[in-house]
Amino acid sequence: MEEQLLTFLNALQTEKQYSSNTVAAYKNDLTQFISFMLTEYPDLSRWQEVTTDMISLYVAHMDEQDYASSSVARKVAAVKSFFGYLFKQGIITDDPAEKIESPKVEKRLPKPLSFHDVEMLLQAPTREEGAKNLRDAALLKILYATGMRVTEVVSLRLEDVDLAQQKLRCRGKDGEVRELPFDTETQEMLVQYLEAGRPYLLKDAEEKALFLNHRGQQLTRQGLWLIIKAYAKEAELSLPVTPHTLRHSFAAHRLARGGNLQEVQRLLGHANISTTQVYTHLEAEL
């Protein structure tokens, strides 16, 4: 059974040209599905033995775990895609996932932090000294000052920073490049990190990533998430924080201060302005 999963994941990457992040998400979701199947049905040895009722039990199990509807929908989509592949390959004669319905995804408005909570979060790394704290202070400040996606921030390289012009060169989705301005306070934090933080994290002089982890390598998305999570806990914020929270806060606060919708769309890298308009519907009290 493991062999078919690996073949499917390889097909996603080589034939459908899915990104490594997307393939990793499929792998995680399907590994979870297999683990559940083998726990509930220890004698299961072939994909031909999986029935629609067995998959329905898995969906019901996820509902009991209080997963967000979007998470359940993604996991169900992964299972349906996998069994569709097995059917097309002739590995199974019937597709047991064909009649499984994906749950309706509730469209939720993004939840930005209040101005006060943002300030508390940005201040958290500055309470202690050290290279790591200088990195984290600059990192959080850039996220809020530019509205960049987490992947975009960790992908920044030294040559992407123009301190004199106070601009960042951001490589977004589908290869699009945006120039993002930042304020003087962000500039000062970047200078402090580059002069007194990054050199102490650097292990290889050839490393060009802007933000480094303790091993001197490019900071990962997971690493950034752990950093945000830790400081959010330390700051005792009133709302849960996700890697996208500062991006949401940037957009909501910019518009609340009278920012132009089209300009915010450009800064966020949204292809459709309707995506940006969501932020205009948020409560004025921030």
Q: Helices 52-64 and 20-40 sit at what angle, rounded to 10 degrees?
A: 100
Both tokens assigned to 251: 């957009």
Taking the C-alpha atoms of residue 197 and residue 133, their distance in angstroms, rounded to an integer, is 8
**Cβ atoms within 10 Å of 75's Cβ, excluding its own:** 23
- φ and ψ at residue 128, rounded to 5 degrees: -130, 160
Q: Helices 131-146 and 245-256 sit at what angle, rounded to 10 degrees?
A: 50
Marked catalytic residue, from 75, 80, 141, 247: 247
61 in active site: no
- φ and ψ at residue 158, rounded to 5 degrees: -55, -40
Element (DSSP H or E) covering residue 7: helix 2-14
Marked catalytic residue, from 88, 99, 173, 214: 173
Locus of tokens 């049905």? 41
Taking the C-alpha atoms of residue 11 and residue 124, their distance in angstroms, rounded to an integer, is 44
- CB-based contact 12:18 (threshold 8 Å): yes
67 in active site: no
Marked catalytic residue, from 27, 167, 266, 270: 270
248 in active site: no
26 in active site: no
Both tokens assigned to 228: 């945000």
Marked catalytic residue, from 157, 167, 229, 244: 244
285: left (phi over 0), alpha (psi -120 to 50) or beta: beta
- CB-based contact 265:276 (threshold 8 Å): yes
Task: Please list the alpha-helical segments (H only) found in the chain.
Answer: 2-14, 20-40, 52-64, 69-88, 115-123, 131-146, 150-154, 184-196, 198-201, 221-235, 245-256, 261-268, 273-277
214 in active site: no
173 in active site: yes
Marked catalytic residue, from 149, 248, 253, 254: 149
Q: Which residues are catalytic?
A: 149, 173, 244, 247, 270, 279
